[in-house]
Amino acid sequence: MVRRRVRLALTPPFDVAAALGGLAAHAVPGAERTDLAAASHTRTVPAPHGTALVIVHLAETHAEATLDLAHPDDEAAVLAAVRFWLDLDADPAAVAEHLRTDLALAPLVGARPGLRVLGHVDGFEAAASTVLGQQVSLAAGRTFVGRLVAAYGTAAPGGFAAFPRPERLAAATPEELQRAVRITGARSRTLQALAAACADGLTIGPGGDLDRTRQKLRALPGIGPWTVDYLSLRALGDRDAFPSGDLVLRRALGGVDAAAAVALAERWRPWRAYAVTHLWTRASYL
């Protein structure tokens, strides 16, 4: 292993408490760990030469990353994944200036002007975890993902486990996945189909053709609008993504239906993903 320590620039402010709250709420048992007292989060990151382990320490003005790399040439790819994951390239002032004009959001923006949209270090992991979290609580979804990692993950530095790659899950039968993760047959078939698609070349991540990726995801069995919209926000980098069917979001907006939520959010464009994150943070993380 090769160790690197890197200071990561960002445009302050950075809302450390909200970021750590979101990371802790979604942390996969065995693959991630949040240390609130140290303002740090540790997780595995896939890289070209093998799994890396990343420890990020967050501050309002910068972040620091300790990287344990399988090969020194992996540094650039891992750092790019970390920057996307933590939304370090955001311009918080531009977002806050726009969203604070909305009376409902103004208090939230005023309290957390440096709030970031948490992404993900790996699109397949994000998609598989989202499938396992469909129609269940956040805690139940984490339990399912932890079982998947325990059954199919591989050893990683620091005693962590790396999330299984799509080829590994594509080779498993839906029945095997169902028994290992203890999920429904329909959910296991969706997971296996997603893995097969990614093993066959479907790339889930920022910088690609957003509409085409969304169409390919929607074509998979068991993946509907909420999953695609959620992945647009967390994995595809769409800062105007709006998962209108999300139950927590609709409750935060006063219990409205999906159509009413879309209408309310029209004035938040092109930063709806940040508005959603403000509402999620208030409702679920802090």
Q: Is 12 helix (H, G, I), strand (E, B) or coil?
A: coil
Alpha carbon of residue 84 to chain centroid: 10
In the CATH scheme, what architecture does the domain 2-89 have?
A: 2-Layer Sandwich (3.30)
Burial zone of 3 (CB within 10 Å; 0-12 exposed, 13-18 middle, 19+ buried): exposed
62-69 and 52-58 beta bridge pairing: antiparallel
Q: Is 176 helix (H, G, I), strand (E, B) or coil?
A: helix
CATH fold group of domain 123-224 = Endonuclease III; domain 1 (1.10.340)
Q: Is the dihedral of CA 124, 129, 132, 135 positive or negative?
A: negative
pTM higher than the cut 0.85: yes
161-162 and 2-9 beta bridge pairing: unpaired
User: Would the CATH topology of 2-89 be identical to that of 123-224?
Assistant: no
Q: Is 218 helix (H, G, I), strand (E, B) or coil?
A: helix
Q: Print pLDDT tens along the chain (286 aa).
A: 899 999 999 999 999 999 999 999 999 999 999 999 999 999 999 999 999 999 999 999 999 999 999 999 999 999 999 999 999 999 999 999 999 999 999 999 999 999 999 999 999 999 999 999 998 999 999 999 999 999 999 999 999 999 999 999 999 999 999 999 999 999 999 999 999 999 999 999 998 899 999 999 999 999 999 999 999 999 999 999 999 999 999 999 999 999 999 999 999 999 999 999 999 999 876 5
Extents of the domains making up the chain: 2-89, 123-224
